[in-house]
Structure 1
Amino acid sequence: MPAALIWLVFALGLAGAEALTGDMFLLMLSGGALAAAGSSWLLALPVWVDGGVFLVVSVLLLVLVRPALRRKFTAGEGLPEPVKALEGKQALVLDRVSRHEGQVKLDGEVWTARPFNDNDVYQPGDHVTVMHIDGATAVVWKSE
């Protein structure tokens, strides 16, 4: 069996094992094995040279590429919390909203509500803005 084929099988095995770990360490080693397979196939040099290519390329990938990839994959903010997505939306007052009572219709659902300022009172039919969600209660405000 030619050395290039052995390196290729090794590279595919490492890439497959990487799918189980997700750490991108084995993927960098797989890149080194793939480079060794390419050099073995193209240049037909001794096996120890292929090992050197594997070592150098793997180290370079681990030092230069892996940190950048890890930063890119972990830097995302992710999806917002569902209640955070409701902040700033408009709602319709269904029942009188005061300090201890009230309901609004928000995104097609009925929510209990209270005013942002404790002394404010909103009547049915008023349009209000959701300032934030406090538990299961929408804290709303109406710009005058």
Structure 2
Amino acid sequence: MDPWVWWLIAAVGLGIPLVLTAMPEFGMFAVGAVVAAVAAALGGGTVTQVLVFVIVSVALIAVVRPIAARHREQRPQLASGIDALRGRQAVVLERVDGNGGRIKLAGEIWSARTLDADQVCDVGQQVDVVEIDGATAVVI
């Protein structure tokens, strides 16, 4: 059997763990094996084939992994649940002070208290939600 066929078999063999484990390094090794198969088909010797495999695989890992890691870190973080309510504005429905009150937040009525115990928010006033403490919105 020709050497390029063995390289293609190796590429498929490296592609299987890529699919099963979702480790992109296996894919980079598989690409290196495909390029080595091309080198073998063009008549490159065994040393050339192995060097091509190693150089392409290492280059892909050295270049692609940092780029992928950078993109993974830059994904927008979508806030959900109570995290999505922090920083939103609400309307006071019942006087809110350090002991409690009611606000309309995101279309729902919430119990609320002020962050500063001495602060008072009157009906109709716009307030900002600082945090959610259990089922109570803490506002300023």
TM-score interval w.r.t. the shorter chain?
0.7 to 0.9
Per-residue deviation, residues 72-130 of structure 1 (Å, max 9, x unmatched): 32454633354333222121222221211212111112221011321222233332221
How far residue 55 of structure 1 moved from its aligned partner, in angstroms, is 2.1
Per-residue deviation, residues 38-90 of structure 1 (Å, max 9, x unmatched): 2223x123344322321222223233433443343245463335433322212
**2:22 is matched by which residue type in structure 1?**
G
Q: Measure, in 1, the Cα distance between the counterparts of 2:2 and 2:108.
A: 67
- 2:126 corresponds in structure 1 to 127
When the two chains are superposed, the root-mean-square deviation of aligned CA atoms in Å is 2.5
TM-score by length of 2: 0.78
Q: Measure, in 1, the Cα distance between the counterparts of 2:66 and 2:122.
A: 56
How far residue 33 of structure 1 moved from its aligned partner, in angstroms, is 0.6
**2:21 is matched by which residue type in structure 1?**
T
Q: Is the 8 A contact 1:93 1:104 kept in 2?
A: yes
Q: Is the 8 A contact 1:28 1:66 kept in 2?
A: no
**2:116 is matched by which residue type in structure 1?**
N
Q: Is the 8 A contact 2:7 2:36 kept in 1?
A: yes
Q: Measure, in 2, the Cα distance between the counterparts of 1:15 and 1:70.
A: 21
Instruction: Tell me how many residue pairs correspond in the alignment.
Output: 140
How far residue 36 of structure 1 moved from its aligned partner, in angstroms, is 0.8
Q: Is the 8 A contact 1:111 1:138 kept in 2?
A: yes
Q: Which residues of structure 2 form unaligned runs of 5+?
A: none
Q: Which residues of structure 1 form unaligned runs of 5+?
A: none
Q: Is the 8 A contact 2:110 2:137 kept in 1?
A: yes
